[in-house]
Amino acid sequence: MAQFPTTRLRRMRQHDWSRRLMRENTLTTDDLIWTLVVTDKAESEPVAAMPGTKRLTFADAAKAAVEARALGIPAIAIFPNIDSSLKDARGSQADDPNGLVGQAIKAMKDAAPEVGIICDVALDPFTDHGHDGLMENGIILNDPTIERLCQQAICQARAGCDVIAPSDMMDGRVGALRAALDSEGFEDVMILSYAAKYASAFYGPYRDAIGSSAALQGDKKTYQMDPANTDESIREVELDIAEGADMVMVKPGLPYLDIVARVKDAFALPTYAFQVSGEYAMIEAAAANGWIDGERAMMESLLAFKRAGADGVLTYFAPRAAKVLGG
Ligand code: PBG
């Protein structure tokens, strides 16, 4: 490369048209997966720690699906907030055919069948101890939990869910889920594995949103990954692919872009990042204080996922970003 002053990198940055011509990455509505919380309450209610989002009733979730279709958002990932009186040690509501998740899926699929519905597989929204698995003497049991997760996934598939997304981090659950789905005739239901999921402080507002933070006993460090590790994420992803994952996810998002880039480079399969509740809350809080331009920060953070190699982003910003992209 020629040196300065022959080469001037600012030359190409002068105009909007020349910046557009050399732009390497773009964000489109096709990259967005809208994460939203559903509730069995009679009214939708705002989530305090996540300004601009609400826990949605079935009726409002159905409206959100219609809105997603209109905005060109391909899929919605739903997370349930059930009444704490319905929670128990085994997370009975997780596979109750008349439970919140099944009803929400049906309402959304009836309203906008073209929009993909992604369901979280884990017990934490349903357990009275707030853990993703079954607990005995303070230990989260791996294999017995997998049995419950399979029952949960089949219940979701029966309700019409398109994508099963295990977020529990039990070993071996992807293979077990694939076999369970296939044996019930759901061989076309996809699996999006939360393959590299870290034990993160950035989930704080979400646990509030689904009402599990008060309940959570201890932490999730015996099943979610240590934030210090990167080689381990490759092993996690490799195993999930071998067990039949169609897509993999890295979570949280922005603090783990190095993992997104490594995973995409290593395996070249559909790779997603989850811009989690704490990331959303930080941008919203700073914007509300006038410390950053919220819209620009939102779009810049979403584009960063594309630059790192993600095929898409799970984000609470999805409808707002889609509106910006739609002009
Ligand atoms: C748990 C689950 C979590 C999130 C999605 N599924 C939280 C946790 O592991 O405690 C976090 C989502 C977010 O923070 O936006 N199965």
Rounded Cα gap, residues 166 and 34, in angstroms: 17
Residue 177's pLDDT band (cuts 50, 70, 90) = very high
Average pLDDT over residues 235-256: 98
pLDDT at residue 108, as a whole number: 98
Q: Tell me which of 76, 126, 129, 132 to substitute to probe ligand 1's pocket, judged by most ligand atoms within 8 Å of the beta carbon.
A: 132
pLDDT of residue 327: 60
pLDDT value for 140: 98
- Using the mean position of ligand 1's atoms as its centre, give its distance from the Cα of residue 203 in Å: 6
Residues with CB under 6 A from ligand 1: 120, 122, 124, 132, 167-168, 203, 206-207, 220, 276-277
Q: How far is the CA of 130 from the centre of ligand 1 (A)?
A: 11
CATH architecture of 26-325: Alpha-Beta Barrel (3.20)
Q: What is the whole-number distance in angstroms between the Cα of residue 325 and the centre of ligand 1?
A: 27
SS3 287: helix
Which residue from 50, 148, 203, 250 has its CB within 8 A of the most atoms of ligand 1, so it is best to mutate?
203
- Asked if residue 278 has pLDDT above 80, the reply is yes
Distance of CA 296 from the midpoint of ligand 1 (Å)? 25
- What torsion, rounded to 10 degrees, do the Cα atoms 126, 129, 135, 138 define? 170
Average pLDDT rounded to a whole number, residues 95-120: 97
Contact call for residues 109 and 163 (beta carbons, < 8 A): no
Could you identify the atom of ligand 1 that is nearest to the CA of residue 276?
15
Residue 217 has pLDDT above 90, yes or no: no
Residue nearest to ligand 1 atom 8, measured at CA = 203
- What local confidence, expressed as pLDDT, does residue 315 receive? 98
- 309-320, pLDDT tens digit by residue? 999 999 999 999
- On the question of pLDDT at 1 being above 90, the answer is no
> Considering only CA atoms, which residue is closest to atom 2 of ligand 1?
167
Token pair 């907030």 is at which residue?
Answer: 81
| Amino acid residing at 126 | F
What is the b/e burial string over 230-260, where b = at least 16 CB atoms within 10 angstroms of the residue's CB? Answer: eeebbebbebbbebbbbbbbbbbbbebbebb
pLDDT value of residue 135: 97
158-167: per-residue pLDDT in tens?
Answer: 999 999 999 9
**Ligand 1 centre and the CA of 223: distance in Å?**
13
Q: How confident is the model at residue 197 (pLDDT cuts 50, 70, 90)?
A: very high
pTM, 2 dp? 0.97
Is the predicted pLDDT of residue 211 greater than 90, yes or no?
Answer: no
**pLDDT over threshold 90, residue 195:** yes
Residues involved in catalysis = 197, 251
